[in-house]
Amino acid sequence: MIHDCEATQERVVDLLFGELDGGRAGLALEELDGCPACRVQYQSLVETLQTFDRAAEASLPAEDFWPGYEERLRKRMAQEIQPNIWQTAAALSTARPEYRLTFLEDEGLTRRLTREVRGVAHDAELTWPEFKRDPLGFTGRSVSAYSHAGWKFLSQRDVSLAVLASFVVIFGAVGLVVGLEQFRLSRASRVAVNEELVLVEMLSPEAEIPKEQQKPEEGPAGMAKGKGGGMKPKQEKPGGGGGGGRQEALPASHGKLPQASLQPQILPPNPHPPKVPNPHLAVPATIQADPTLFPPDTRPIPLGDPKSKETTPSSGTGTGGGIGNGTGTGVGSGDGSGFGPGRGFNTGGGDPNIGGGGPGGGGGGVDYNKTFNQKDVTRKAVILAKPEPGFTEEARKNNVTGIVRLRAVLSSSGGVTNISVIKPLPDGLTEKAISAARQIKFQPAQKDGRTVSQYIVLEYNFNIY
C-alpha cells in the first residue's frame, strides 16, 4: 500500500487540535495510519503541544484561556515552531548536546621549565649511566641538545624580538647610569682644577680639629643694658666666645660670671675654687672679654653659667678648666676664654672681634627687656598678695556666676600691666576682676640673675553663697 504522508499530516493536525480542545489526553497512536517516521514525528509533536498546554493551565484560569485556544495555538506554532511542523518536531525530538566547562590545570613557570629541561634530557638520552660510560660524549650531546632547544625557543614568533628589546632596555639603562657618573666625575675634576687652594696652617697629629659652633641668640651680645657692641666708638658687632669644663658628671651650675677683662687670663673661673688660707696675693678669676659688655656682678653667689638652671656646684662636662660644656678657660659652650658660642675670646659668636657702639645686653643674645613665659625664666614670679574682687548689685540680682580669666604681665618694675580678657562675665564682674588684678603684690621673676617681666594667667571665681 502506498502511504500518503501529506494526507496523514493533515489528519494529524485535525485530530490533534480536536482532541486537545475536547479535553482528552491525546490522539492514540493506533488510530494513525502512516509510516514509522510519521509516527515518531507525531509523538514528538504531541509531547511538545501538551507541554504548552500544561504551562498555560498553570498560568491562567481555564475560563479565561480555552476560548480561542485553537487559534492562538496555531499562531504560536507558526511563530515558534516554523511553518514546517514536521521538521520542528524532528528537531525537538533530537537531544541537544550538553556542554560542560573544563578547567585546565594552571602549571607554574618553574614546573614548565623543569618539564622542558627533563624532556630535552630524555630525548638526548642524558642519563647518569651514559655520563659514567662516556663523559665526553655526554657533554657533547648535552651542549648540542640544549643549544638546539634554545634555538627552537628563540626562533618562535616574537620571542627573538622580545629578548632583543629586553637586552636593549637593560644595556641602555646601564649605559645611562655610567654616563651620568662619568659626567659627574668630570665636572667635579674641572671644579677642583679651577679652585685655588691656599695653605693656611699645618695641624699636628695631636691637634684637635675645632668643632662647629652654635649660633648665638638674636639680640645684642653681652650682659649690660644697651644695644651696643663694645668699647669702640662706632657701632660694630662683637665676635668670639668661650667655654670650658672639668669633665664633671653634672652640667655647669648656675651662677654669676667672673670679671671681664681683655687681658690674658691668670686664673680661669671655678664654681668651687680651692680654699687657700691667708693668700699672699689674691688673684681673681676672669673671662677674656670686653668689660663694656659685662658689668661687674657684686652678688654674693658662686661663679657659674648664668644660662644654666643647675643648682649643684659643677664646672660642667666640658674640658679646659673653665665652666660649661665647651672647650677652654671661659664660660659656656664655645671654644676659648670668652663667653658663649664662638671661638678665641670675647662674645658674640664666630671668630673673636672687639665690637663698638657702647654697652650691649642680652647675655650672648638674650633680650632681658622682653616679657618671658613662665617656663623660660630662671625663677618664677612669686605672688605675695592677691585681693579678691567683689560682686556688683546687678550681677547679684541676675544671679550671675562663673569665672573671669585674664592674661597679664607681672613686670620687672613690680606692677601688673598689659591686662587682657580671655573669658569675661557680664554685669560688671569683668571690670571687678581687672581692678583686683591691678592690686596684686608680687616679687618679679628672674632670668640669669636679672629681674625680668613674666606673663601670667589670672582666674577669679564668682559664686553666690
Nearest alpha carbon to residue 392 among 437, 430, 440, 434: 430
Q: How confident is the model at residue 420 (pLDDT cuts 50, 70, 90)?
A: very high
Find where cell 618539564 sits: 115
Tens of pLDDT, residue by residue over 395-407, are 989 998 899 999 9
Tens of pLDDT, residue by residue over 200-226, are 555 555 445 556 667 777 777 777 777
Out of 6-20, 152-166, 301-315, 322-336, least confident range: 6-20
Please give the pLDDT value at position 363.
Answer: 44
The C-alpha atoms of residue 355 and residue 340 are separated, in whole angstroms, by 16
Buried b (16+ CB within 10 A) or exposed e, 378-391: bbbbeeeeeeebeb
Q: What is the pTM of this model?
A: 0.39
Q: How confident is the model at residue 158 (pLDDT cuts 50, 70, 90)?
A: confident
Instruction: Provide CB contacts within 8 A for 125, sequence distance 6+.
Output: 141
The C-alpha atoms of residue 310 and residue 307 are separated, in whole angstroms, by 9
Find where cell 650672648 sits: 364
Query: Residue 237: helix, strand or coil by DSSP?
Result: coil
Q: Do 437 and 408 contact (CB within 8 A), yes or no?
A: yes
Q: Do 190 and 317 contact (CB within 8 A), yes or no?
A: no
Percent of the chain with pLDDT over 90: 15
Bridge partners, 335 (sequence order): 327, 343
Please give the pLDDT value at position 52.
Answer: 57
Joined together, the cell numbers standing for residue 354 give 672687639
Out of 113-117, 205-209, 293-297, 354-358, least confident range: 205-209
Q: What is the mean pLDDT of residues 121-138?
A: 75
Query: Residue 199: helix, strand or coil by DSSP?
Result: coil
Buried b (16+ CB within 10 A) or exposed e, 110-134: eeeeeeeeeebbeebebeeeeeeee
Please give the pLDDT value at position 39.
Answer: 66
Calculated CA dihedral for residues 400, 403, 409, 411, nearest 10 degrees: 80
Tens of pLDDT, residue by residue over 8-56, are 555 555 555 554 444 443 444 455 555 666 666 666 666 666 665 555 5
Exposure on the CB side of residue 142, measured as CA atoms within 13 A? 13
Please give the pLDDT value at position 70.
Answer: 56
Q: What is the mean pLDDT of residues 158-180?
A: 85
Tens of pLDDT, residue by residue over 172-203, are 899 899 888 888 887 766 655 454 555 555 55
Please give the pLDDT value at position 381.
Answer: 92
Asked if pLDDT for residue 1 goes beyond 50, the answer is no
Asked if pLDDT for residue 286 goes beyond 60, the answer is yes
* Average pLDDT score, the chain: 75
Find where cell 695631636 sits: 206
